[in-house]
Structure 1
Amino acid sequence: MSGWRNKAVRRAPWVLAAAAVVAGAVVWAPSVGATVAPSQAWDARQPGPDDLFTATDGSTNYFRSPIPANPALDPNSDAIVASMGDNTPRLNGPQWQITIYTASNSDPLYHPEFSEDWGCSVGDGIHIPDYATREVPSPGDEWVVVYNKDDGTVKSIWGASKESGQWNGSCGGVWPAASGGGADAKTEGVGTGAEVQAGTGFILNSEIQSGAINHALYFTSTTSCSTFRAPAGKSDGDGGGASCVPMGARIQLDPSVDCAGLPGASDGEKMICVTMQRYGGYVLDSGGPGPLSGIGVAGDDLTDPDRAPWQTPGNGMRDGGILDLAGLDGSTGALADIPWDKLRVLNTWNGQ
């Protein structure tokens, strides 16, 4: 199984503010039951279902706000969806799953040195638990992301490595944990290629185990536009014309699809189907292999006996892993029962 956020070059994050608006409510919210046995309960060393993307401080909430009924669609919605053909998105494979951890001020404090000069910063340091691992590819993005429950921040290192007991990297940034993760919420430093918080919209292991994903998802695209919209603060794409996908575009699965009745669908597919109707997903990176790919999954299955900090996260797609038990792996077939041809592209993030 392979990952689908591959790059020809490493991403260079950047900063730009985005507009803040308020979303309406939604009326459809079907539920899918729990997907794993109680013996594999969520591990509090990683964020819980309600820890991230919450915007409880009143900030614009791009990810937790449901899509309103009858949203305004992008004028190019049909052309964008048609350009995707019969492409079925894949989940990011194990090597492209950004790791996200829960930390406290009692965990070791690091002051990483950064090799880039883009205003990289993690403020007064970053607390990283000793059990943390980074995203696998090397060279690659190599993220390590930490939610600090004591100071209410999400801090990240891009191009992270740990040598002689010290974490360093290429760059880094800081977001309030209650900000919703958009580009306009950044406190300092830099984020992903779309300038959002690293790991924003990624499916958490705790959400797979709870049976519900209550936020918008993260997607990549090989046909991303050079233009962008909120929550993105920039684009690392170079596409143009009516059929490219604007960076930051919010996509939604037609609410008329019967997610609970999808023939042959796994519990994980049904969960993602419901999420795509209620919250949709954002295109927030340029990557393949298809026009719509790379649904973000937070990595490091802590139940994997082969995991080894700081370089080898646990593989949730292995036989018996957290993702595998929900019927989710890195193959196209894992999400093939969802009718992806019934997507639509919203005009703005809140459907106005």
Structure 2
Amino acid sequence: MTVTRRRALTILPGLVAAGIVAPTVLAGSAAPTAAAASVRPYFGAADWLWDPIPTGPVLDPQSAQMVNFLRTGKHVALMRQFGVTLRGPSGITASTPRYDVAFSQVPAWGPDPFGRDTMPIPTGTPVPPGSDGHLAVADPQTGQVFNLWQARQSRSSWAASWGSKVPLNGDGRETFGSSSTGARLARYAAVVRASEIAARNIPHALFFSTDMAAPAANFRYPAAGSDGANMARVATPIPEGTRVRLDPSVNLAAIPGITAFELVVGTALQRYGAYCGDNGGSRMSFLFEYEAGAAPGPSYAAAGAAFDYFDLVRLPWDKLQVLRSWNGS
């Protein structure tokens, strides 16, 4: 999916209150309010992730041209082969095994992205079978989120091709050091959780990769970088970091044959939208949590997504809108 990596450092509201770690906020980021912290289980300062799109946002001047290309091709849910295994923070304790992960791209890509830190990985943690092997762990013990690319276990050790580390209570942006996505948005952020599909509620923005990500020099907040290459060679590519949404005036529930899976994803796309964050092989590929069990995962199958790479054909992709900025200004 991507080979560009970077990194950052901060912490979680509950950890500060408990006295486990000192309060820290990334430069330029406002500390989350108490109300916000209570409903933000990770990346409490990531307004770009948690804030709904306001009414009447300003659209990008080239919104129509970008949508003309975004609406074509496949719009798939990556749940299995290229899903993301997520762990924590509630499942990580002082007794969780910790590992000094060996990175095969050190020193070619830079120094060890975890430095002297060890990564907690619960026993029996699976890795998605696809070539990306995404694994992300939110660690309340150290106040860090660890992200691995091409993770692999060998008996009592763990290795990966690359990784990144960001503050659990930060803004979810990898603003220095290594990175886990092309846009340098932490892999743990914006992935749809299996529990969210089961609850029929996704309370945050989504993440998608695309074959029409604009060349790397062209990106916008919240992206802190880009690996875009416009692989599809479209006339109007979309910059990484760009937020898109489905027109909220569309009555998704009235679409004939729409599955519960498509409805919950579509509703989130209307309320929170999705960020272009990486190069990918499809027009729009949305990231989901890897769920153990029969493919594509029990929660997804129960909602009507019968197979991995499930094509969200009933959503009205011609009704996409591209925002000029993340907050609609």
Q: Which residue in the other structure is 1:52 paired with? A: 42
Written as runs of structure 1 = structure 2, the 5 A alignment for 1:153-192 is 153-184=144-175, 189-192=178-181
Q: In 2 relative to 1, CA 21–225 (structure 1 residues): closer, same or farther, beyond 3 Å?
A: farther
| 2:272 equivalent in structure 1 | 279
Q: TM-score, normalised by structure 1?
A: 0.76
1:1-20 paired onto structure 2 within 5 Å: 7=1, 11-14=3-6
- Does structure 2 retain, via aligned residues, the 8 Å contact 1:20–1:60? no
Deviation at residue 256 of structure 1 after TM alignment? 0.4
Structure 1's unaligned 5+ residue stretches are: 1-6, 23-48, 305-313
1:122 to 98, 103, 114: 114
Match of 1:204 in 2: 193
Contact 2:138 2:168 in 1 (8 A): yes
Residue 308 (structure 2) pairs with residue 315 (structure 1): no
Distance 1:333 1:152, change over 3 A: closer
Q: Which moved more, 1:74-83 or 1:228-237?
A: 228-237
- 2:77 alignment partner in structure 1: 91
CA distance, structure 1, for counterparts of residue 168 and residue 112 of structure 2: 18
Corresponding position: 1:72 with 2:58: yes
Structure 1 position 346, deviation (Å): 0.5
Aligned with residue 230 of structure 1, among 221, 226, 230: 221
Letter in 2 for 1:315: A
What percentage of aligned pairs have identical amino acids? 29
Question: Taking structure 2 as the reference length, what is the TM-score of the superposition?
Answer: 0.81
**Paired letter, 2:56:** N
1:327 paired with 2:304, answer yes
With over 3 angstroms needed to count, the CA separation of the structure-2 counterparts of 1:175 and 1:111, relative to structure 1, is: same
Residues 296/157 of structure 1: CA separation in 2 closer, same or farther (3 Å cut): same
Gaps of 5+ in 2: 10-25, 31-38
Counterpart Cα distance in 2 of 1:20 and 1:119: 26
Contact 1:323 1:329 in 2 (8 A): yes
Q: Which amino acid aligns with 1:253?
A: L
Task: Report the more deviating stretch, 203-212 or 167-176.
Answer: 167-176
Give the counterpart of 1:252 among 245, 248, 256: 245
Question: Structure 1 residue 336: deviation in Å?
Answer: 1.6
- How far residue 191 of structure 1 moved from its aligned partner, in angstroms, is 2.1
- Tell me, yes or no, if structure 1 residue 347 matches structure 2 residue 324: yes
CA distance in 2, matches of 1:175, 1:66: 23
Q: What is the CA-CA distance between 1:180 and the residue it aligns to?
A: 4.0
Decide whether the 8 Å contact of 1:61 with 1:180 is kept in 2. Answer: yes
> Could you tell me whether the CA contact under 8 Å between 2:79 and 2:296 is conserved in 1?
no
- Kindly tell me: are residues 198 and 331 of structure 1, through their superposed partners in 2, closer, same or farther at Cα, counting changes over 3 Å? closer
Q: Secondary structure at the match of 1:323?
A: helix
Instruction: Tell me which amino acid in the other structure corresponds to 2:133.
Output: E
Q: What is the number of residues matched between the two proteins?
A: 294
